[in-house]
Amino acid sequence: DEDRDALYYDTFPDDFKWSSATSSYQIEGAWNEDGKGPSIWDTFCHEGGHVYENHTGDVACDSYHKYKEDIALMANLGLKNYRFSIAWSRVLPTGKIDSVNEDGIAYYNNVIDELLDNGIDPMVTLYHWDLPQGLHDDYGGWMNESIINDFNDYAKLCFERFGDRVKFWITFNEPWIVALLGYESGVFAPGINEPGTIPYVVGHNLIKSHAEAWHTYDDQFRSVQKGVIGITLNSDWSEPHDRKNYKHIFASERAMQFSLGWFGHPIYKNGDYPEIMKTKIAEISAGQGLPQSRLPEFTEEEKVFINHTGDFFGLNHYSTNYVVNPTNENYELPGYWGSDVNVPSWKEESWPQSASSWLKPVPWGIRQILVWIHNEYDGIDSYVTENGVSTHDVYDLSDEERMKYYKSYINEVLKAIKLDGANCKGYTAWSLLDNFEWAAGYSERFGMHYVDFSDDDRPREVKDSAKLYADIIADNGFIEDNTSRSLVVEGS
Ligand code: PNW
């Protein structure tokens, strides 16, 4: 649809937060240096057989040693913010509060101070998937509710040590991925393949851990430190294949509630799971001959405790699917994907393909999902905490696909704000650097800077997409007569 895709010229609100993101395991390396304990991703990679060509994050981008260089790249982009994560087992090697590693604390203090010296405000994620191995070994990590207390101790330590300078906290990155890829399909660490109940138990413990940490901040730190704390959820947009068919609208709503709603509904809406998840999983569980629903329940007290424990909504978004209604429920394979979501979905052949199988650019989808969040969660402040695209593992600094992706997606964010009234307050490009792309190892590159992983020194080089992003930031949006600069991308 040509009209829908037309570039819209306007600028973002003055205080719009331009950011870029990375995560600890994907960039730091130094996996066992200066007292760091092992995480489930160290174990998963070292075990072999899980990651493309058995790549590991042992060295990754070596940002543990090269953070000053990275921050210089950010300054060149004109970033106002930088989103990174803390490796729990670098500050608490066993995961437990009695194991504080001062060298690990010093590393993050250095990063934070260097950022502030460059006029860049940190956005800190407490958990981006690298659980201390000790907690998995002791009691099964996220599968056990003992984790709630340990996560709260860790969060409190971070507020105490870093909260004088960090004013933007994200408890979890993508609990949906943690629960499903870690515990249902097992393609991510800890590699558990138990569809049915366990992923929902993991989700339950993630939500309770989030709420506990939010209350700790709210009760003990907010009045002095004056920051905000929320969570980052991920989802594709589910577009009804035919918007005039009410069944397709239901299908879209079911898909959105099973993805964003699973975590968003308890935290931002009413303390409990979406009705559609509760009724469908109960009905399907009964059909599977189970005595009770595979989805756990919150007590009334827990619902009150969880409700409204997010100061903002963090969104990671990459792609879109068309959806239609299911013809009937399916009881064959108990599990989120096996039986519960049950919304047929696909990506169009004609949409371009990135280097990641699951990622096809559909720029108008980000506008739809931002509006959905705005309407569903009562106009809450939202931040795009990740958005970006992968290219193949080739040396290429003129990354036109990525330029096109950023330009068109950022323009759709602008439309969501200016034309639809969505309260979106910031945009974060994934990623600052090419890095360790989880099970895909180094075979997929998401960076605005090229990293040579075959060189011990891990040299960085600027790609054209970085120049484009710097221009958009400098203009605070899209200015019509800037025709001579990188904003002009062929064919967009
Ligand atoms: C996010 N999927 O993960 C993560 O937050 C980043 O660490 C990661 O590098 C980035 O997106 C790119 O993959 C996802 O399969 C991983 O749909 C997989 C999916 C989505 C997001």
> What is the DSSP track for 44-59?
HHHH-SSSGGG--SSS
Could you tell me if the CB of 358 is within 6 A of ligand 1? yes
- ipTM beyond 0.90? yes
pLDDT at residue 326 in the model? 85
Checking if the pLDDT of 51 tops 50, the result is: yes
- Contacts of residue 455, defined as CB under 8 A and 6 or more positions apart, other chains included, come to none
Q: Which atom of ligand 1 is nearest to the CA of 236?
A: 17
Residue 162 alpha carbon to ligand 1 centre in Å? 26
pTM for the model: 0.97
Which residue has the CA at smallest separation from atom 15 of ligand 1?
A: 358
Looking at residue 482, its pLDDT comes to 64
> DSSP letter at 23?
-
Q: Classify 295 in phi/psi space as left (phi over 0), alpha (psi -120 to 50) or beta.
A: beta
Name, in order, each residue with C-beta under 8 angstroms of 332's C-beta and a sequence gap of 6 or more: 338, 339
Give CA–CA dist 431/446, Å, rounded: 6
Residues designated catalytic:
174, 386
The sign of the torsion formed by the CA atoms of 192, 198, 203, 208 equals negative
Q: What pLDDT score does 475 carry?
A: 96
What is the distance in A from the centroid of ligand 1 to the CA of 164? 30
* pLDDT class of 483 with cuts at 50, 70, 90: low
Q: Residue 490 pLDDT more than 60?
A: no
Residue nearest atom 14 in ligand 1 by C-alpha distance? 177
Q: What is the pLDDT of residue 492?
A: 42
Q: Probe ligand 1: pick from 231, 316, 356, 448, max atoms within 8 Å of CB?
A: 316
Q: What is the DSSP letter of 12?
A: -
User: Whose Cα sits closest to atom 17 in ligand 1?
Assistant: 358
CB of residue 173 inside a 6 A radius of ligand 1? yes
Average pLDDT over residues 166-184: 99
303: burial class by Cβ within 10 Å (0-12, 13-18, 19+)? middle
